[in-house]
Amino acid sequence: MPHTVIETPLEQDSARYDVAALRREFPVLSREVNGKPLIYLDNAATSQTPQPVIDVFSDYYSRYNANIHRGLHTLADEATAAFEGTRQRVKGFLNAEDARQIIFTRGTTEAINLVAQSWGRTQLHPGDEVLISMLEHHSNIVPWQLLAAERGFTIKVIPVDANGALDMDAYRELLSERTKLVAVNHVSNALGTINPVKEMTSLAHQFGALTLVDGAQAAPHQRVDVQDIDADFYAFSGHKVYGPTGVGVLYGKKALLEAMPPWQGGGEMIDTVSFDAGTTFAAIPHKFEAGTPAIAEVIALGRALEWMEGVGVEAISAWEGVLLDHATQAVSQVDGLRILGTAPNKAGVLSFVVDGVHAQDIGLLIDQLGVAIRTGHHCAQPLLHHFGVEATCRASFAAYNTLEEVDTFVAALNRVIGMVR
């Protein structure tokens, strides 16, 4: 594949973003699919993993596989130090004030459910309102619906405009003294829209409401500063930031986390347990980390964030912007293709439909040409129904994608459309 280099504002000594060198760190990118070089454009679902992150698993299981926090032997000490080292790295990655504000979960979905079941179950009552947006992933809709059915509060939905941007005037009108929580994504997984979460948080706080930000699609693509946003809760997943599946993060403000009851009970999250006197709980973050965690995965998450910082989060964001602009211009020339989500502030997601062609047919056939995209409702059915479609094709970009891959993808797309029309 040609060597692609772009000038970007890196924080490192060099101002050159070397895609070819970066790609060599990803073993999967060298494979073929159906006899064609793999072009992986399903990064909004799961990003690929560089070799340094993959190596963490072999290193952990071959050298210091042990449970954490509980043992006094050398292996337990080493595993604990590596695990807690990731907590410190996440603190820096999000610019949190205190590492104790970082809770490890199985992913963004579990993080949101933790807030719903711990904070929400104790703080939400009939007459209260929770605001979510039309842009939300199901993981930031269903937990609130389940809890609302039990607790009797009301869910209200912030609408979007024709470009897929949030209607901020409508948001301001929805806010009231009854609003207790605003739960929104930072970046839409289905459209790529970047929401003004700092402004939304400021407005919510004026009414005494808290904010929960689903950062699953933001953390891989841009610098996240939870203190600047002033979010009360912020969540993201490991498998979208070049790390492993099965691990994620919930950040929360310290006072909130300390006041919240545990969600799950078991080992690690206790201080004392007695049949007579009952149970007292550990301090944060351990109060919310019951049982043996995904130790290797957490350590690998730390290595993935280290890798991102080494490349440069700003550099990744700038390069993905180049890819998105190039792809948007290219697919706009495809006959009968309509892009969903044309907000002026977008991340590297390109969602589209083609007149007379089912999205699933495009996905299946383009895979035969070695191109991996996502088709379907993207766990955002209310949003797609709002735009009058059941499914879209979605190409989403990452640090290792190239302009040449975009061109190959568009050529393959044209070929597939010609086959099925």
Residue 379 annotated as catalytic: yes
Same domain, 324 and 299: no
Residue 402 belongs to a domain? yes
**Do 29 and 141 fall into the same domain?**
no
Same domain, 325 and 250: no
Beta partners for residue 273, in sequence order: 279
Considering 261, 295, 310, which residue would you say is the last residue of a domain?
Answer: 310
294 and 316 together in one domain = no
- Tell me if 324 is assigned to some domain: yes
Task: Catalytic residue, from 170, 379, 389, 403: name it.
Answer: 379
Residue in the block written with tokens 């994620």: 248
Domain end (from 278, 310, 342): 310
Q: Rounded distance, CA 161 to CA 340, Å?
A: 11
Q: What residue numbers bound the domain in which 266 lies?
A: 53-310
What CATH number corresponds to the domain at position 128?
3.40.640.10
Encode 174-190: b = buried (16+ Cβ within 10 Å), e = exposed: bbeeebbbbbbbbbbbb
The verdict on 406 and 268 lying in the same domain is no
**What contacts 144, CB < 8 A, 6 or more positions away?**
116, 120, 130, 132, 155, 183
**Does the residue 146 lie in any domain?**
yes
DSSP character string of 284-296: TTGGG--SS--HH
| Strand-strand pairing, 154-158 and 129-133 | parallel
Q: Are residues 72 and 91 in the same domain?
A: yes
- Sequential pLDDT tens for the chain (421 residues): 333 444 443 333 334 799 999 999 999 999 999 999 999 999 999 999 999 999 999 999 999 999 999 888 999 999 999 999 999 999 999 999 999 999 999 999 999 999 999 999 999 999 999 999 999 999 999 999 999 999 999 999 999 999 999 999 999 999 999 999 999 999 999 999 999 999 999 999 999 999 999 999 999 999 999 999 999 999 999 999 999 999 999 999 999 999 999 999 999 999 999 999 999 999 999 999 999 999 999 999 999 999 999 999 999 999 999 999 999 999 999 999 999 999 999 999 999 999 999 999 999 999 999 999 999 999 999 999 999 999 999 999 999 999 999 999 999 999 999 999 8
Classified as helix, coil or strand, 351 is: strand
Q: Are 137 and 144 in contact (CB under 8 A)?
A: no
Is position 1 within any domain? no
Please give the pLDDT value at position 174.
Answer: 98
Provide the token pair at 404.
């040449």
**Most distant CA atoms of the chain, gap in Å:** 74
Report which of 26, 20, 80, 88 is spatially closest to residue 52, judged by C-alpha positions: 26
Q: Are 123 and 68 contained in the same domain?
A: yes
Q: Can you give the pLDDT at residue 8?
A: 40
pLDDT digits (tens, 9 = 90+) for 37-58: 999 999 999 999 999 999 999 9
Residue 359, in any domain of the structure: yes
CA distance 133 to 116: 16
Please tell me whether residues 29 and 128 are part of one structural domain: no
Residue 9 in domain? no
Torsions phi, psi of 6, nearest 5? Answer: -130, 145
What gap in Å lies between CA 269 and CA 70, rounded to an integer? 12
The Cβ of residue 145 has, within 10 Å, a number of other Cβ atoms equal to 14
What pLDDT is stored for residue 219 in this prediction?
A: 98
Q: Is position 14 within any domain?
A: no
Q: Same domain for 371 and 388?
A: yes
The answer to the question of residue 88 being in a domain is: yes
CA distance 383 to 134: 6
The predicted model scores a pTM of 0.95
Do 66 and 125 sit in the same domain of this protein? yes
pLDDT in tens, 323-332: 999 999 999 9
**Angle of helix 295-311 versus helix 74-94 axis, rounded to 10:** 40
Say what the pLDDT of residue 16 is: 77
Per-residue model confidence (pLDDT) at position 4: 42
The CA–CA distances, whole Å, from 162 to 85, 340, 342 equal 44, 9, 8
Tell me what pLDDT residue 71 has: 82
* CATH number for position 390: 3.90.1150.10
The tokens for 354 are: 């083609």
Q: Which tokens belong to 71?
A: 């043992």
37 and 75 together in one domain: no
Whole-angstrom distance, CA of residue 11 vs CA of residue 23? 20
Please check whether residues 225 and 283 belong to one and the same domain: yes
**Residues pairing with 129 in the sheet:** 154, 179
Task: Give me the pLDDT at residue 13, please.
Answer: 36
Domains: count for the chain: 2
Last residue of a domain, one of 248, 277, 310: 310
User: pLDDT value at position 421?
Assistant: 80
